Structures are given as C-alpha cells and as structure tokens.
Amino acid sequence: LGLLLGILAAFHRGTWIDFITIFIAIVGVSIPSFVFAALLQKYGGGDYFPIVGWVSPGMKIPDIFRYTALPTLAASIGGLATYSRFMRSSVLDVLSSDYILLAKAKGLSNWKIITRHVLRNSITPIISIVAPQVAGIVTGSFVIERIFSIPGLGRYYVDSVNGRDYPMVLATTIFFSFIFILSIVVMDILYAIVDPRVRKGIIEGK
C-alpha cells in the first residue's frame, strides 16, 4: 500500500493526492506506533474488534481477522509512511529521466510506463529498507505485543531478560540474528534480480 501511495503521489505531484500522501508520511513517521495502538484501542475497538487478546486454535477466518486487524494496522503505519515517502522520491527521480520522456512522447499510457519502466527502475532504492523492515515484522514489536496482549517473540524475549532466563535469551538472540542475516541475503538477491548491472557484475566476478 505504501508503494502504491508513493507512485500515485509522484504521478499526481502537486495535487490533493500528493498532499494527502505527504501528510500520511509525516504523521506515520512522527507519531510512535504505540500512540496509534492506543488510539485504535480507544476509538477503533469494540465488540467487533477486540482491543486485547490473540488468535486461538479453532478460530474461523472472520474471527482471526477481528483479532489481528488492530495490531496489524498499528504496526504497519510506520512502514507505510516510510515506503510511500521513499517510493515517491524514487519515482519522481525516474520520471525525470530521458527514457521516460521518450515513452510519453511515443504515446504510451501511464499504466504501461509504470509497469515497463518506472516500477522496475524505482524499486531498487526501496529494497535497501526492506531487510530491516522484514526483520522487525518477523521478530515482532514488543510495544505492540504488550498493548494488545499478544504472546509474540518480542514480548517473550523481554520477559526472558527480566526473568534472567539466559539460555532462552541466547537462543532468541541467535534466532533474531539469523532472521536479520537471512533478510539481508534475500535483499542482495533481489538487487541482482532487479538491477541488471549488479547481475552482470556478479557473473563477471567483479
């Protein structure tokens, strides 16, 4: 969603779409996730969206959605703002390139320009921020888990530290490190897939 907002803002620069996207990015980056979580609990929670608790075995899909909607929204606001901001800047940089101006002069539609030229060339800078974002999602957010009473990895890690359960602290730290290293490896692979120059350098051994 953040990538889509960034693309729309870049193609409609100076319009209300651009201003709304910039506003969302500023708010998402400036306000901590636990503030969003508290606001969602106060104004978005109720009978349909529980403000605490987590999914239990045997739940149906609608119930799973009800319990995960608010925590997911609270945890994703910051990432949405970051991706939309980076994507907007990257797309604006690509749109000023000569080959984009040539594509517009040839009469290509905006959809073809986005799919064939803009998306592939503007996604490269975004890949560099994917690794820490993915690692953070997988390992969990301690604050969000505390607020919504979610038995996640982040909360379990902090409880292990407070309880001086050193073997579990060591095991969890190793697991977190493995996830982060794996995300960096995947990021490098994506770089080679998206950017032919990187792939050519790998093949030539440079």
The pLDDT value recorded for residue 138 is 65
Residue-range domain boundaries for the chain: 1-122, 126-206
The rounded distance, in Å, linking the Cα atoms of 142 and 148 is: 10
pLDDT of residue 30: 83
What would the pLDDT profile of 48-84 be if each residue is shown by its tens digit?
777 777 766 666 777 777 778 888 888 888 778 888 8
So what's the pLDDT on residue 136? 66
So what's the pLDDT on residue 61?
74
- pLDDT in the model for residue 183: 81
Q: Which residues of the chain have pLDDT under 70?
A: 46, 55-59, 135-140, 195-206
* Residues 144/71, Cβ–Cβ less than 8 Å: yes
The answer to whether the pTM exceeds 0.75 is no
Residue 25 is encoded by which pair of tokens? 């990015």
